[in-house]
Amino acid sequence: MARTANLAPASPTPRLQVRRLIAGFSAVFGLACLVIVGALFNIAGTLDQQERQRSAVQANQALEQRLLASRQFLSAYAVWDAAYEHLAGQTDWKWAYEEKNVGESLYSASGYEGVFVVNDTHTTYGLFKGQPTQAAASTYIEDALQPIIDQARAAAIPREQVSRFVLFNGWPAVLSAAAVRPDREVTENEVSQAPVMLFVDQLTEDKLARLGTGVGLSGLHVEKDDVGEHEHLHIDLGNTGFHLSWNNPLPGHQLLQAVLPPLAGALLILGLVMLYLFRHALRSSRAIDLTLARLQQSNQALEASEQRFRAVAESASDWIWETDRQQRLSYLSQRFTKVTGYPVSDWLGQPLNQLLACDTTPLSPWLDALAMADPQQLANLRCTYRDQNGQNRYCRISARAIWYDDKPIGYRGTASDITDEVDAHARIQHLSLHDPLTGLANRNKLARHLEQALLRGSDSPPMTLLLLDLDDFKPINDTLGHTAGDAVLLEVATRLRDSTRDGDLVARLGGDEFILVLSGMDNRSEIDSFCARLIALLQQPIMFDSQPLHVGASIGVAQTRTQGFDAGELIRCADIALYQAKADGKNTWRYFAAEMNQQIQYRRQLENDMRRALRNQEFVLHYQPRYRLSDLRIVAVEALLRWQHPQEGLLGPDTFIPLAEHSDIIVALGRWVLREACYTAQDWPADVLVSVNLSPAQFLRSDVVADVREILLDTGFPAQRLELEITENVMLNDIEGALGTMLALKELGVRLNMDDFGTGYSSLGYLRTYPFDSIKIDKRFIGGLGSGGSSDRAVVQAIISLGKALGLTVTAEGVESEQQLEMLETDLCHEVQGYYLSRPLDSVGLDALWHQASERSAPYL
Ligand code: C2E
Ligand code: CA
Ligand code: CA
C-alpha cells in the first residue's frame, strides 16, 4: 500500500516563496531603475560638464581672439607713420576725421564705439560712436587711463599693444591701447611721450551674439558680477564689475529631458505590469497554498483512514484481499498469514482461484459477474482452501468489484475462516442425521431419504419399507445391562448394513427398532427371501463377553406400490404390519393389509374427537418455566398443550398434534393456544415471557402473522413478551416463504426461538439468515449428558458456542438431573428448562409458583 508523502511543514509555503521572490525581484527592479537613472544622470552630468568646459574654452578663445583682433586692428592705425605725423603733437582733425583716416567708419564698419588719442594730460582726438567729441576719454572710460597709457608706451617698442576690459559709458568694453609711433625702429625716448591711441570695442549684445554664434555659444552676454549665479559659467571682465556669461550648453540635461519621460513611462508600465504579475502570482500562490493545505488535510485524513483501516484489518479475525481485474491477488492483510500460515508474498500475483475454490460455484465467473452487476453489490461465497499445513479449511468470502471511473478495475473483499463453524455444524449435522450408537441413519435421515425418494410420486421407482423390531432384546438389556444391549444393537446394525445394497437405507428409530428402505425391490418372492435371509442372519448368536446372545426379529413390510407415496403413511403401515408379525409369533414378516387398518380408523375418530374437543373446550394449557442459569430466575414460561379427554383422561400433545397437523384442525388449535397463553400470561410478572409452540403445519395452512397480530391486538398482550418456538422443519417446506413470515413476525415485535435445535435439517445458513433470538438445544442431547455419551457433550458445547457466536440466547431443555445442570453451567449455557427444575404445571400449579416466588421475592425456584 502506497505511503502518502508527508508534506514537511518546515518548508516555506509557495506563497511565502512567491513573496520572497517578489521582494527580491522588486529590489532588483528598483535597483536596476536606480542604476539606470543614476547612470543616466551621471552621463548627463558628465556631458554637461564636458560641454561646459568646452564652451568655456571656446568663450575664452573667442574673447582672446577678439582682443587679439582688436589689438592687431589697432596696431594698423597706431604703428603708422601718417598717424604719427598727424596725431602726435597738434591733432590734425582734418586728416584724421574728414579724410577718414581715423574716421567715422571705425564705428560704422568696425564697431568701435570709442576712438581716442590721449597723451598724459588730455585727450587730443576723440570719436564717440563715430562722431567727433570734445569730451575727454576719461569721461567715457571709467578707469585710470595713465597706467594704460604707460603700458601702451612700454609695449610700443616691440610694436605691441595692450588691451583690457573697461567700463565704457557704463558698459563693459574691450579697450585696446597702443602708442602712436612711426613704422620704424623707435627709441624709448621717442615713445615715452607718444600719444596713445585707444579703441573701445563695447561688448554690446549684438556683437556678443555674433561672437557667440561664431563659436557656437548661445546667449553670450555681459552681466554685472552681483547678478546671476556664481556657478554659472563666466569670464571675468577685468575690474569692470561685469563678467561675460553665456547660456550653459546642457546636452546632458537635454538628454535627460528627452530620455527620462519615456524611460519613466516605460519603467512605470514595467512596474505596473510587474505589480499585476506579482498580484497574480500572489493570488495563484495563495490558491496553491490553499490547495496544498487542503491536500495536506486530505493527506492526513487519508493517512488516518489508512491507519484506521490497518488497525481494523489487523485486529479483525477476517483477512482482507484485493485482486486486479484478472483476479490476481494484489493485496492481502496481515491476518492472512496468521489464518492460513502462508507468507503474504507467496500469494501476491497469484490468481485468487488458485488459493480458494468453491465446489458449487466456480469462483472466477462468480467474480466476473460482480463486475457486471450493480457496483454496490456485495456477494458472499463459501470456499475451501488448503492452509500451509495441508489442512482443508473453509472460509466465507465476501466480495465486491472495485470501480474506478465507472470501470471495474479489480475485486476486494474479506475472508472469514469458518472452519470451526463448519466442523461444528458438520458434527451437529451428522449427529442430527445419525444414531450415535450404531452410526446408522436416524429418524431424521430416514424422513429426508423417504421424502426425496417419494417426491416424484408415481414416477419414482417402487420402494419397500421394512420395519424391523428385535425380539427378546429387552431381557438382554434388563439382565445384562446397557453395555450388552449396546453391543447387540451394534452387531445387528452391522449385519443389517452388510445385507443391504448401496441405494438402500438402514435406519435405527430408537430402542430396538430399525427400518430398511429397499429400492428397486418390489417382487414379493424377492422380498420374501430377503426377509427370510435377514431373520436367519439376526438369529445367529451374537458374542458378548465370550457369551453367545440370541435375539430374533419381526418385520413389517409396506410398499409404495400398494401403500402410496406418503412417508408417514408407509411407516404407519409397516408399523401395523410389524404389529401383526409380532402377534403372529415373532421371527417372521408380514405385509401390510388393509384389514390391519383399524388404527387408521382410530385416527379418523380422533380427528373428529378433536373438533368436538375444541368446541367443548377440552383443551388446557400446562406451563413449564425456563430459567436463567446464572441465577435460576424464571425468564420465560412455555405453554404446552394437553387434552382433557372425557374418556381417556389427560392426553399429551404427542398423541394428537401429529394427527391435527394432517388437517386444518391444527390451525384452530394453534390459534386457541396462542390466545389462551397471551390471555393467561397477562397476570404473570411483567418480565416473564410466554413461549408458544408453533407447528410447521400452521405456517403452511394459515397466515400465522395475521393470527399473531390479531391475537396480540385482541388480548392487548405486549408483543415483546411473546416468544414463538419454531422447529427447523418450518424451513423445510418453503425456505423463502418461511423467511418472509419470520421477518414479518419479528416486525410485530415478538421473539423467535428455534426449538429442538440439532434434530432437524439445521443449517448454519438458516441460523444466519433467519431472525432468531434464541435456540433451544434438543432434549435428546441433554439426555445424553452425564450418561457417558461424551459425543453429546461435545455437540452441546458446539451448539452453545455456535449460538453465542451468532449472538443468540441458548437454552437447554430436558434437564433432568443436577449433574446435567452443572455441566451446562460449566459450558456457560444461558438458560435451562426441564423436569429437574420444574415439570409442566397446570394453571393452579403455576399460580402457586408465582405466589411462592413473590413471597421469597427471588429467585423463583
Ligand atoms: P417441545 O416443544 O420440545 O416441548 C418440550 C417437551 O418436553 C414437553 O413435552 C415437556 O413436557 C417435555 N419435557 C420438559 N422437561 C422435560 C424433561 O426434563 N425431560 C423430558 N423427558 N421431557 C421434558 P410435551 O408437553 O409432551 O410436548 C411435546 C411436544 O408437543 C412439544 O415438544 C411440542 O413440540 C409439542 N407441543 C406442545 N404444546 C404444543 C402446542 O401448543 N402447539 C404445538 N404446535 N405443539 C405443541
Ligand atoms: Ca417447545
Ligand atoms: Ca423442544
Contacts of 62 (CB under 8 A, 6+ apart): 211, 212, 214, 215, 217, 220
Q: Calculate how far, in angstroms, residue 604's C-alpha sits from the geometric centre of ligand 1.
A: 24
How far apart (Å, rounded) are the C-alpha atoms in residues 782 and 815?
6
Rounded (10°) CA dihedral 733, 737, 742, 745: -130
Q: Which of 232-241, 334-343, 366-375, 467-476 has the highest mean pLDDT?
A: 334-343
Q: Identify the residue whose C-alpha is closest to ligand 1 atom 43.
A: 693
In the three-class reduction of DSSP (H, G, I as helix; E, B as strand; rest coil), residue 761 is classed as coil
Average pLDDT over residues 24-53: 86
Q: Identify the residue whose C-alpha is closest to ligand 1 atom 22.
A: 814
Residues 194-210 pLDDT 10s:
889 999 988 888 888 88
**Domain boundary assignment for the chain:** 50-246, 316-423, 438-592, 605-843
To test the ligand 1 pocket, which listed residue (813, 816, 841) has its Cβ within 8 A of the most ligand atoms? 813
Of 535, 453, 447, 525, give the one whose Cα is nearest residue 499.
535
Q: Identify the residue whose C-alpha is closest to ligand 1 atom 44.
A: 695
Percent of the chain at pLDDT above 90? 35
What pLDDT, on the 0 to 100 scale, is given for residue 752?
A: 96
pLDDT over threshold 70, residue 765: no
Class of domain 438-592: alpha beta
DSSP H stretches of helix in 440-501: 443-454, 473-480, 482-499
Residues 10-28 pLDDT 10s:
577 778 888 888 888 888 8
Ligand nearest to the CA of 655: 1
What pLDDT, on the 0 to 100 scale, is given for residue 685?
A: 94
CATH for the stretch 605-843: 3.20.20.450
Domains 50-246 and 316-423 agree in fold: yes
Residues 328-360 pLDDT 10s:
999 999 889 999 999 999 999 999 999 999 888
Neighbours of 291 (CB within 10 A): 11
Q: Calculate how far, in angstroms, residue 641's C-alpha sits from the geometric centre of ligand 1.
A: 8
Q: Give the mean pLDDT of the chain.
A: 87
What pLDDT, on the 0 to 100 scale, is given for residue 830?
A: 97
Contacts of 454 (CB under 8 A, 6+ apart): 460, 463, 560, 565, 566, 567, 570
Class of domain 316-423: alpha beta
pLDDT over threshold 60, residue 496: yes
45 falls in which pLDDT band (50, 70, 90)? confident
How far apart (Å, rounded) are the C-alpha atoms in residues 290 and 308?
26
Sign of CA dihedral 22, 24, 28, 31: positive
pLDDT over threshold 90, residue 531: yes
Residues 596-610 pLDDT 10s:
777 667 767 888 899
> Which residue would you say has higher pLDDT here, 221 or 460?
221
> Which residue would you say has higher pLDDT here, 533 or 14?
533
In the three-class reduction of DSSP (H, G, I as helix; E, B as strand; rest coil), residue 632 is classed as coil
Residues 146-193 pLDDT 10s:
888 888 888 888 888 888 888 888 888 888 999 888 888 888 888 888
To test the ligand 1 pocket, which listed residue (640, 650, 778, 780) has its Cβ within 8 A of the most ligand atoms? 640
> b/e string for 533-548 if b means 16 or more Cβ within 10 A?
ebbeebeeebebeeee
Residue type, 82: A
Q: Calculate how far, in angstroms, residue 654's C-alpha sits from the geometric centre of ligand 2.
A: 12
pLDDT over threshold 60, residue 238: yes
pLDDT over threshold 70, residue 5: no
In the three-class reduction of DSSP (H, G, I as helix; E, B as strand; rest coil), residue 296 is classed as helix
789 falls in which pLDDT band (50, 70, 90)? low
641 Cβ inside 6 Å of ligand 1: yes
Among 105-109, 503-507, 553-557, 854-858, the minimum mean pLDDT is found in: 854-858
pTM: 0.46
What values do phi and psi take at 682, rounded to 5?
-60, -25
What pLDDT, on the 0 to 100 scale, is given for residue 415?
A: 92
> Which residue would you say has higher pLDDT here, 519 or 711?
711
pLDDT over threshold 70, residue 137: yes
Ligand nearest to the CA of 834: 1
Residues 417-467 pLDDT 10s:
888 888 888 888 888 888 888 999 988 889 888 888 877 766 777 889 999
Residues 689-707 pLDDT 10s:
999 999 988 988 889 999 9
pLDDT over threshold 80, residue 361: yes
- What ligand 1 atom has the least distance to the C-alpha of 697? 44
pLDDT over threshold 80, residue 819: yes
Q: Calculate how far, in angstroms, residue 200's C-alpha sits from the geometric centre of ligand 3.
A: 158
- What ligand 1 atom has the least distance to the C-alpha of 813? 15
CATH architecture of 50-246: 2-Layer Sandwich (3.30)
Query: SS3 helix, strand, coil % of the chain, rounded to 5?
Result: 50, 20, 30
161 Cβ inside 6 Å of ligand 1: no
